[in-house]
Structure 1
C-alpha cells in the first residue's frame, strides 16, 4: 500500500452523497473559500488536479473546490499527529456542518482521521507502528469495529532472515485508512473499487499556491533541508 492523503471536507450532511451530485466547481467561489480558510496568506491560482490525486498536493500547494453544500481542501499542512489540534479557525469554519479530516502517509504506515459535527469533535484517531496510538478520542465509528475486534489483523510478515518483532499494531493503519476514506468520503485511493464508490478522478479541484507571509520562505526551508 502506498497511498498518502492530507485533506479536509466541509459538508452540510453525508459527504459521499453530496460529492456524488457535484458538477464543476466555480473558481471565484472556491477562491473565496480559500481566502476564508487562509486569512492573511498569499494565495495564487495554479494548476489544478482531481479528487483522487489531489488529496495529497505538493508542499506549498492546495487543491480545493467549493460547491453548494460541500467543500474540499487538500493541503499537507493538515497532516498533523493529533487531529484535535487542527487550527481553531479551520474548525470554526465548520459551524453548523460536518468536518472530516483524513491524513495518511504510507512511508511510515501513519493514519489520522477525525470528524467534527457543528464544531464539536466526535471522533479522532491517529496511530502508526512507530508511535503507537497517538490520539484516540470518542467512540469508534462502525467501519472501525472489525479492526478493534481483531477481525482485520495486520498482514505483515517479517523477512525470514531478519530478527524482527511482530507488527506492533493489531491491524494495519493504511487498511483502516482506506475503509475510513470510503466510509467518510465515498472513495478509496488504493484497493478494489466498489460499485457505489465515487469516481474521484472525474471531480476536478482548482489549484492554489499558498504561503504564510509570516512563515519561513519555501526556498529557504528547502535549502535548509
Structure 2
C-alpha cells in the first residue's frame, strides 16, 4: 500500500508531548467534532482506527479528540496546496496551532503546513514524481534545514539533481515532519521516536450516502 497520510492536528500545547502521555480518547466529543467539521454529512460508526490509518478513502473519516488536541483524517485535506485549506477547517477554535500533514508514496509527494492562531506560518508541497515545488510559503522550519542543505539524494545520477529545485526524497522529509511534531513516523529508522502510532486510537466514521440521510 505504500506510505499515505492526510490529516489535520489541532493543538493547544506540544502535540508530541500530549501523544507521548497516552491521552484518553473522548469518543463523544470526537463524533460531535466530525459533525461540526462536515455539517453536510451524516455518519455511522465503524471500527476504530489509529494513527497508522490516517489515509481513509473518500467515504470514511478517522477522528480523535484528546485533552489539548484533536486529530482529523479525511481525504478533504489531501490537497496539493495546503494554503488553500478551506477556512472552515481553520476557524474552529480547537487550538492555537494547526498542522496539516499529507503524503502519498505513489507519486513521492509530501505537503505540510502550520497555522498559529489562524495565521499561516509555513506551507510546503513537493512532488518527487516531477521534481516540482508546488508551494513554498514562509520560513523553513529548523528540522527542514538538513534536507535542503545536505539533502537525501532523490536521483540515482547526481547530475540530474542540478535540474531539480531540491535533492531530497519528499517522503523522507514527510517522515521527519511527523517525527518532529508528533513523535512518530510511517517508515524509516529513527532513534528519536517517542510514540507508537498504533496505540493512539481514532474513532472510525462512515459517511452515509445522501439517499440514506433521511
Q: TM-score, normalised by structure 2?
A: 0.88
Maintained 8 Å contact 1:104/1:177: yes
Structure 2's unaligned 5+ residue stretches are none
Cα gap change, 1:212/1:2 in structure 2, threshold over 3 Å: closer, same or farther? same
Structure 1's unaligned 5+ residue stretches are 159-163, 218-225
Cα gap change, 1:212/1:123 in structure 2, threshold over 3 Å: closer, same or farther? farther
RMSD: 2.4
Runs of 4+ deviating beyond 3 Å:
164-169, 211-214
Q: Specify the SS of the correspondent of 1:77.
A: helix
The structure carrying a bigger helix percent of its residues is 2
Alignment of 1:1-225 (within 5 A): 2-51=2-51, 53-94=52-93, 96-129=95-128, 130=130, 132-149=132-149, 151-157=150-156, 168=164, 169-210=166-207, 213=210
Cα gap change, 1:133/1:68 in structure 2, threshold over 3 Å: closer, same or farther? same
Following superposition, the deviation at residue 210 of structure 1 comes to 2.5
2-side partners of 1:96 and 1:27: how far apart?
18
**In the comparison of the two structures, how many residue pairs are matched?**
208
2-side partners of 1:195 and 1:96: how far apart?
26
Matched with 1:222 is: none
Q: TM-score, normalised by structure 1?
A: 0.84
2-side partners of 1:206 and 1:96: how far apart?
19
Cα gap change, 1:75/1:133 in structure 2, threshold over 3 Å: closer, same or farther? same
